[in-house]
Structure 1
Amino acid sequence: MKKVIVKPALLVLSIVFAVLSTHGQVQVLKENRPSGAFTRIVNNCSADIMLQQGNHNEIVVEADASVIGEIKTNITGNSLTVDMHNARPFKKIKRLKVWITVSNLEEMEINGSGDLTTQNPIRSQNLKLRINGSGDARIEMEGGNLDASINGSGDVNVSGVRGTLMLGIHGSGDFEGSKMQLENAILSCFGSGDIRLEGKTANLKIDSYASGDINTLNMPAEKVTLDVKGSGDVKTWATQVAKVKLMGSGDVIIQGNPKDRQISKMGSGSIRFF
């Protein structure tokens, strides 16, 4: 297993740019960190990740001079981990960013409060996204499948998924998707986070077991399969087939006037077709 660890002694090899920020006299530094091969990015701290895809891998840390040495960028196996050795109160830090260029990306994981933002469309045949902290993610994709899960409070905004979307919400973070061109959308909601999708799909499967609301009225589906056992409301658009099993208190609204309707209702929620 290949392991690359950035230590203070190695930082002398980095290219350092110092500028005075507009926040008083705080000095902001940029350091080029040693890089290697990685396809997975894990953020365990409050640093914001600025991500772009290119023909090489590169890591640049931009932060206050007082904390830049505490930001660790370690590569173990295929994973790049961003962490802080000694976390300080965020209000005392004026700049804390890590600029990452990656040629091939397979997985992203946010465990801290730092946000993740893509700077250009990401091309990946199968991309995994895990939100376990409070950091938000704003991702633009250029096709490919997405397997996403939100276990924390961070919100996710994704565009450009083509193929299959698998989404599981176990926390309070919301998920918003746009420009979806899907064959299959499989959504599971076990938390309070809401889901809103735009685009189109052939098949839509929703399992709603908690209080999160789901709205896919702007993503027509040929076939919709719903299993609603929680208090969250579900709004969908079905053009051909709608299979609904309602055992909770959440309300279901289906547009599109599907001819094939298979309904099972045992809860207090309502089912309405428009």
Structure 2
Amino acid sequence: MSPDERVAHWGDPWDGPWPRNPARPIVRHLHAVPATAYQGLVMRFDSGARDRVTATRRQQTVTNFAYAVLHDETGRVFVGTKYQRGYYFSGNSSGVRRAGTELNLAGLSALPGGKIEEGETIQDAAEREFHEETGEQIRNIDMVRRVHDHRWLVEGGNGRFYGAAYFRVDQDSFNWLVNSIVNVNLPAGRRAQAAIIAGQITAYDQVHPNFPDAPFCNELATGFVLNVRKAADQQTIDAWPDSIAWYRNILRHLDRLLAQ
């Protein structure tokens, strides 16, 4: 196999029954392919084999995404709910938006995550996005017991993929982190948001001197806990709309990880 060709395999029984619902994108797993190799992949079926697809590089640049899954050994996982509008963003040219900016997938459940920047692995991007959206920095937490990452290709995305990094912590550490995010950091972000709306804060560099616990990006309104091993919470995840179908796949993969 040449350096410019890699193979992706079907492998996730949670991707859905066959034949698939045509309204849902086909998701395929990628194994043993470096994240950097996915820039500009083109997918095509090998003749006569439904379970095999060849990914070939091309020059087009695509945008890939990574998500952070903070969980414990019992199956509990942190999930956020997005604001309808965001009012401050790190790395943004203006920094704050007094009128707010409508967020992508506003008001829906979400895992912390976003675009993979040049040179980042899935884990790097997931750690950075988790820090930006929750105010907690995973890479400095000694309590992380295990890190696993996984990635999926979406048909029709010109090689675009999304991945997840799974950060397992013990139950006490999970409780501490979720409490800090939900009861300290996100409320501080809401207070910063209110100060921006009131015109009391007009630049991004004024946010954290006044609200030091606020997340670095104003995206998550609240946070809550689901347990992927419990039937009721599995039903909640399965009921999420197709517009966030990748979150279903990510959390179903966590269920399989914990069963191993």
TM-score in terms of structure 1 length:
0.22
Q: Which has the larger radius of gyration?
A: 1
Relative contact order, CA 8 A, sep 6+: which one is greater?
2
Q: Flag the structure with higher strand content.
A: 1
TM-score in terms of structure 2 length:
0.23
